[in-house]
Structure 1
Amino acid sequence: MRIFLAGATGVIGRRLLPLLLAQGHQVTGTSRTFEGAARVTAAGATGIRLDMFDRAAVTEALAAAAPDAVIHQLTALAAGSSADNARIRVDGTRNLVDASRTAGVGRMIAQSIAWAYQAGDTSADESTPLDLTADEPRATTVLGVQALENAVAETPDHVVLRYGTLYGPGTWYAPNALMSTRLRAGELAANDAVSSFLHIEDAARTALLALDWPSGTINIVDDEPAPAHAWVPVFAQALGAPAPARSTGRAGWERGARNAKARALGWAPRHPSWRDGFHTGPE
């Protein structure tokens, strides 16, 4: 199959690329930089430097690649800006979907998130509405997710993967990354806020599997939604750092998500719980 991998040098894309190549797929992979495109080419794919906000360039790239499927793994997280990430979800996705339709692409796999649901007391499933009445700054994220998912749904066959909070090498939960810095600075609360995690390896592997899945929106999270007072001490132990004192309180949307729909498709995470996953070393 000819695959257009948008975001081939991102935290998921760079793990997904070798999986696609190992399955015999012909991959065109994008990067924001010429250096990144060169790394994609060196890995055995066709690397191209592409500005996803340049509609004409995106249209030209899709026409040249003539893919059977597009895998959308675009993010803008390096600076930790929700506005930047929302822009790539809104404008970058719009350009990618329009270019794909012009090129006659019938299938798209796209990365979304599993913590954009409205408030509730139990873990959310895919029928739970998005939190469209959220206040800022959360509204920027949720409306970006809505725009991405609505655009992707214009593709005849599409799978939206609502990933849990990513952890593992290269993520914000890696040693010396954002969350470990927050932990050591005393800025990470061990409260009642529930998260659903997903190891980065499972995220990449699932994007490959989704090429054969029926259209739909699917939570891709591990088996154990957990309050921060449960997972933060384990995270701290994995880093060799002191854990904060337990506290209380959570926002209504901090509820976690369920993976029953993915399980029904035969999916299973190789890292079923953050309890073990936090202690997994570098790949």
Structure 2
Amino acid sequence: MHVFVAGATGAVGRLVVPLLLDGGHQVTGISRSAAGVERVRRQGAAAVQADAFDPEALAEVVAGAAPDAVIQQLTDLGDADAEATDRLRREGTRNLVAAAKAAGVPRIVVQSLCWAYMPGDDPADETVPLDTGAAPPRAGLVDGVEAMEAAAADLETGVLLRYGILYGPGTWYAPGGQAAAALAGDPGARFIGTVQADESVISFLHVADAARAAVAALDWPSGPVNIVDDEPARSREWVPVLAAALGVPAPEPTAGRQTWARGASNALARSRGWRPEYPTWRTGFAAQGA
């Protein structure tokens, strides 16, 4: 299969490319920068420079590649700009889907997220609706996810991978990342999220498991699938473990929770044969610094 990877140099995309090549697939990856293009080529894949916000250029490179499937791993989180990230989900995905549709590509696998569900007390499965009635600023995130997933559904097959909070190399939760800076009280930390040790429930996912799911999803049917580890956890449980792994002080536990922070179930993904190699953040946090 010829797979077109958008976001080939991101934290997940850079792992997806070699997995695809090892599986015998032909790969074309795109990057916004010349340095990113060179990085993809060094991995052994074809690479082109293109911007997801440029629909004409994107249509040209997708048509030129003529892939059998597209994997979307687009992110814009380096500067912790939530609005830019929401725009990329909405407009970047729409442009990518339009380019794929024009080129006759039937399948797309999209990086979505699992914390856009409606509030609740139990880990969400895929039947739980998105939190479309959320107030700002959460509304921007949910609206972006809804638009991204709706765009993907415009192709014959659109698989929506609702990832947990990503950790591991290249993420904010890696040693030296923005989560460590936030935990250490650095006022300059650029971090979208929280490291408050309260009752909010979070589901995590190692980037290596995210990449494996993206490749496996090339054979999955349309629709959303939660890709998370086996242990949704209260922040007051995981924050001290992360702090210890990063070598920074842990904050004091606090009461209360964000009602939407409920975690997610990976039962559907497991029923399709996916298993996380890092089944719990308890050991995964420490392993990422090894």
**TM-score bracket, shorter-length normalisation:** over 0.9
Equivalent of 2:196 in 186, 189, 195? 189
Residue 77 of structure 1 aligns with which residue?
77
What aligned pairs does 1:237-252 form with structure 2 within 5 A after superposition? 237-252=244-259
TM-score, normalised via structure 2 length: 0.95
**2:257 is the counterpart of 1:267:** no
What aligned pairs does 1:15-54 form with structure 2 within 5 A after superposition? 15-54=15-54
Contact 2:230 2:266 in 1 (8 A): yes
Give me the whole-angstrom Cα distance separating, in 2, the residues matched to 1:201 and 1:16. Answer: 9
What one-letter code is carried by the residue in structure 2 that aligns with 1:181? A
Residue 184 of structure 1 and its aligned partner are, at CA, apart by 1.0
Q: Structure 2, unaligned stretches of length 5 or more?
A: 187-193
Aligned residues: 283
Give me the whole-angstrom Cα distance separating, in 1, the residues matched to 2:278 and 2:104. Answer: 37
What one-letter code is carried by the residue in structure 1 that aligns with 2:153? A
What aligned pairs does 1:92-103 form with structure 2 within 5 A after superposition? 92-103=92-103
Give me the whole-angstrom Cα distance separating, in 1, the residues matched to 2:62 and 2:32. Answer: 16
Give me the whole-angstrom Cα distance separating, in 2, the residues matched to 1:150 and 1:223. Answer: 28
Residue 97 of structure 1 and its aligned partner are, at CA, apart by 0.4
Give me the whole-angstrom Cα distance separating, in 2, the residues matched to 1:11 and 1:77. Answer: 10
What one-letter code is carried by the residue in structure 1 that aligns with 2:256? G
Residue 210 of structure 2 aligns with which residue?
203
Residue 257 of structure 1 aligns with which residue?
264
TM-score, normalised via structure 1 length: 0.98
Contact 2:245 2:289 in 1 (8 A): no
Residue 134 of structure 2 aligns with which residue?
134
Residue 171 of structure 2 aligns with which residue?
171
Deviating more after overlay: 82-91 vs 180-189: 180-189
Contact 2:123 2:262 in 1 (8 A): yes
What one-letter code is carried by the residue in structure 2 that aligns with 1:212? D
Residue 264 of structure 1 and its aligned partner are, at CA, apart by 1.0
Residue 240 of structure 1 and its aligned partner are, at CA, apart by 2.1
What one-letter code is carried by the residue in structure 2 that aligns with 1:223? D
Residue 282 of structure 1 and its aligned partner are, at CA, apart by 4.7
Deviations 1:80-131 (A, max 9, x none): 0110001111111111001100000011100000000111111111111111
Describe the SS at the equivalent of 1:56.
helix
Contact 2:174 2:288 in 1 (8 A): no
Residue 188 of structure 1 and its aligned partner are, at CA, apart by 2.7
Give me the whole-angstrom Cα distance separating, in 2, the residues matched to 1:188 and 1:261. Answer: 29
Describe the SS at the equivalent of 1:279.
helix
Give me the whole-angstrom Cα distance separating, in 2, the residues matched to 1:66 and 1:241. Answer: 48
Deviations 1:220-241 (A, max 9, x none): 0000000001001111111222
Residue 38 of structure 1 and its aligned partner are, at CA, apart by 1.2
Deviations 1:33-66 (A, max 9, x none): 0111111112111111101111110111111000
Extract structure 1 runs of 4+ deviating beyond 2 A: none
Describe the SS at the equivalent of 1:278.
helix
Residue 189 of structure 2 aligns with which residue?
none
Sequence identity percentage: 53
What one-letter code is carried by the residue in structure 2 that aligns with 1:48? V
Give me the whole-angstrom Cα distance separating, in 1, the residues matched to 2:181 and 2:18. Answer: 31
Superposition RMSD on alpha carbons, in Å?
A: 1.2
What one-letter code is carried by the residue in structure 1 that aligns with 2:103? A
